[in-house]
Amino acid sequence: MAQSITELNTLSQVILKQAFDVHSALGPGLLESAYKECLAYRLTKNGLWVEKEKPIPLVFEEIRLDQGYRLDLLVENKIVVELKSVESLNDLHTAQVLTYLKLGGYKLGLLLNFNVKSLKEGIKRLIL
């Protein structure tokens, strides 16, 4: 278990470095989709497996709902990256990422708000 935590931490550091680079180059004020495409490009360029708009089903008893839920980015099939470009993060954004972690069986999520002066102010790390 300790090794997987170390692996997740290392991977999250790579993701955050690339996010900082994208934010430094583009600055705040763009649409979420622009940041998502640029971050996915940088992560892929750095040799990481990235899935964009990955569908995530909701399973309740015998019912499986495949529509509606999509992760912004799933990196290495391990870390959920949810991007925002909003005035400030709120509890609903946090709940969204926690729901994705639970539904997908993932341990770590990064909630990133690119609409801030310094990206450090827009990072929320969530562990399930």
pLDDT in tens, the chain (128 residues): 455 889 999 999 999 999 999 999 999 999 999 999 999 999 999 999 999 999 998 888 898 888 778 999 999 999 999 999 999 999 999 999 999 999 999 999 999 999 999 999 999 999 99
pLDDT at res. 22: 98
Q: Please tell me the pTM assigned to this model.
A: 0.93
The rounded distance, in Å, linking the Cα atoms of 27 and 48 is 24
pLDDT at res. 58: 86
86-89: which pairs have CB atoms within 8 A and are 24 or more residues apart? 86/113, 86/115, 87/115, 88/113, 89/113, 89/122, 89/124
